[in-house]
Structure 1
Amino acid sequence: MGLSVYQRALILLKVQYYFRYIITVIGLLSNLVAIVVLGRGKCGLSRCITHYMVAMAAADLLAVFCNVAIFYLYAAIFRYVHTVACTLQHVMAYVSLDCSVWLTVAFTFDRFVAICCQDFKSRYCTVRIARVAIATVYVVSFIRNIPYYFAFYSLYIYEPIGCLQKPEYYSHPGWIAFSWIHNILTPLLPFFIIVLLNVLTVRSIVVASRARRKLRAHVSGEKQEDPELEGRRKSIILLFCVSGSFILLWLTEVMTFIYTYIANMHNAPNWAHPLAMAQTAGDLLKILSSCTNTFIYVVTQSKVRDELKNAIKYPYTLFLKLVRK
């Protein structure tokens, strides 16, 4: 006998609850470690790349806190000041995700310029431009999500349990336009920009690598290791892992958004409905994307691994020094 709608909904809620709990622990710890390790500037990366990676880790940390960790804090602490706390939580949740997404776009574009636009590289791939781009992403993300503060209302059953989007959010022309603009800017436009930049980067790398190999073979007459190609290869691995992870983990969210507007069905009839499952999966996967970059750095960058090992050994080393004294 199959499970009832209630049983399936209950299982879905339990999975969502425990998954959020795991994401909270992993996301907060991994992004804090990334900020500390990368912030030391000893990972063999350029200052420009380091700025982007630290900013991305900070945005991911904020995204995990505002979208997941505060879910438990709200239930425990903010429940009875829900009118302000709940709406602010939603605003900051949207802001943090926007920052995380658009910093990924900024990082991808920076690497695209560094690899494919050599004439423009010296002017764009600088610490000053990186700081301006990062500050712009944070400020614009905050400003454009302020309307969400007015999009929610308090939800009571027997006591305050949270807030929902107002009914006119799905019917008023102004809110509909705002919703479309918001969802186009995050995640549709970043999704397709990252895909396009990666395609252009791959094409440029293939052409440049072939030409360089032929030139070196013609000059030297034998195959030799090329430090420039090796450095470019490591940069490409990092770029593709970061952007590829973003594409895969946001794909469900993008496809669900497109389907809901094509089918004109924004809310599922019950928690066990396939649309509800897809929306839940998309929501969890996009938050999971805020936890993956640190692991990507560790896997793809040997010096990041070395710095992480040193950070782990530091308390033990410090303890031994204190004992010896």
Structure 2
Amino acid sequence: MHNPVTGPVFAIYYPVFAAFAVPANLVAIVILSRGRCGLSRCITLYLVSMAVSDLLVVITAVILNRIRGIYFQLSFLTHTTGCSITAVLTYTSRDSSVWLTVAFTFDRFVAICWQKLKNKYCNEKTAAAVIGTVCAFSFLRNIPCYFMYEPLYIIGNVHWFCSIRSAFYTSTGWAAYEWLDRILTPCLPFLLIFVLNALTIRSILAANRARRRLCGKSKGENRSDPEVENRKKSIVLLLSISGSFLMLWVTYVVNVFYVRFASGSYFAGSNFNDPRFILQESGYMLQLWSCCTNTCIYVGTQRKFREELKKAVIYPFDLIRKLSKN
């Protein structure tokens, strides 16, 4: 788990980020759960699960790790057991968020590119099974993280703070585990999302060209094709979600490769004049932003989501007006 850095920039940035990200994900969960956005139950399940996992990332990685480390350096979470559990929950929620994005991307890939498999795979039952499997696997995979730490201080038989065990740097088993962790998150998801998006776009462009030929559409006509319009809406939502994921994680991925093949270790401490520190912290900050961008994407791309959001904003004022009349 990345140790929180100190400084006025981070002391301001992380609370502001949490103040925006927590309500944004809560709003997304409530509105999507109501099922009034014109999306299928399958898509809705994926989007709700992604919002829940993003909310958990904000709570564990931002509030319980970074904000707590800056403002509340001594608390029950400072005990070795507390920070070890926090590390497991942070990694679990992070992996769930990443792989649910991959699962959603694959679901849309099947729906658009594999019409024969669409009815069997792209349904509510399969989506629930995939979501449950992703979350369970993410938790089980990160259980070893609990045993990765040892107490930094022992005062009166009380274990304080978390320090990575020395065996982590010398053991072949831990080295293999760390490599597997970096491959599974974020390198493999990064590659899968990029490839699936490329294949989906290629399939949509080919299908649109074929449909125009079959419809005998001439250049002078300006008729709208419902099938083409539906494909456009699907690809806009898909590319917005997965595209923002790729852009916000790319700095983190670059830093992972830099540490592995050039530096050898992550930067410790705070030094705004060191390029390694800037690269590392920029990667973490942008990665966390991926946990609150989906709500903005829904507002920008989904008309019915905007309508439901307007109703939610107006509702308290309507309630006050009705109560004042009574």
Give the alignment's TM-score, normalised by structure 1. Answer: 0.91
Q: Distance in 2 between matches of 1:225 and 1:213?
A: 11
Change over 3 Å in CA distance of 1:149–1:44 after alignment to 2 = same
Per the alignment, residue 39 of structure 2 pairs with: 45
Per the alignment, residue 112 of structure 1 pairs with: 109
Q: Does 1:267 align with 2:266?
A: yes
Give the C-alpha shift of residue 80 in structure 1: 6.8
Contact 1:79–1:160 (Cα < 8 Å) also in 2: no
Q: Distance in 2 between matches of 1:232 and 1:36?
A: 26
Kindly indicate whether structure 1 or structure 2 has the higher relative contact order, using CA contacts under 8 Å at least 6 residues apart.
Answer: 1
Counterpart secondary structure, 2:150 = strand
Contact 1:37–1:307 (Cα < 8 Å) also in 2: yes
- Post-superposition CA distance 1:106-146 (Å, at most 9, x none): 00001111111111101100000000011111110000000
Give the C-alpha shift of residue 160 in structure 1: 8.3
Contact 2:54–2:291 (Cα < 8 Å) also in 1: yes
Unmatched runs of 5 consecutive residues or more in structure 2: none
Change over 3 Å in CA distance of 1:58–1:269 after alignment to 2 = closer
Counterpart secondary structure, 1:145 = helix
- Post-superposition CA distance 1:189-218 (Å, at most 9, x none): 000000000000111011111111121125
Per the alignment, residue 315 of structure 1 pairs with: 316
Give the C-alpha shift of residue 92 in structure 1: 0.5
Contact 1:188–1:254 (Cα < 8 Å) also in 2: yes
Give me the identity figure in percent: 46
- The aligned runs of 1:194-205 (5 Å cut-off) are 194-205=193-204
- Post-superposition CA distance 1:302-323 (Å, at most 9, x none): 1100000001111111222222
Q: Distance in 2 between matches of 1:269 and 1:91?
A: 21
Q: Distance in 2 between matches of 1:14 and 1:48?
A: 43
Per the alignment, residue 8 of structure 1 pairs with: none
Q: Which moved more, 1:303-312 or 1:75-84?
A: 75-84
Counterpart secondary structure, 1:241 = helix
Q: Does 1:165 align with 2:159?
A: no
- Structure 1 vs Structure 2 CA RMSD: 2.3
Change over 3 Å in CA distance of 1:190–1:315 after alignment to 2 = same
- The aligned runs of 1:1-325 (5 Å cut-off) are 13-71=7-65, 72-73=67-68, 75=72, 78-79=75-76, 82-156=79-153, 162-217=161-216, 222-268=221-267, 271-272=270-271, 273-325=274-326
- Post-superposition CA distance 1:45-99 (Å, at most 9, x none): 1111000000000000000000001133462673475111111111101000000
Unmatched runs of 5 consecutive residues or more in structure 1: 1-10
Counterpart secondary structure, 1:191 = helix
Name the amino acid aligned to 1:228: E
Q: Distance in 2 between matches of 1:19 and 1:162?
A: 24
Per the alignment, residue 4 of structure 1 pairs with: none
Give the C-alpha shift of residue 155 in structure 1: 3.0
Counterpart secondary structure, 2:223 = coil
- Post-superposition CA distance 1:238-271 (Å, at most 9, x none): 1001001100111011111111111252133653
The alignment of Structure 1 onto Structure 2 pairs a total of residues equal to: 315
Change over 3 Å in CA distance of 1:138–1:80 after alignment to 2 = closer
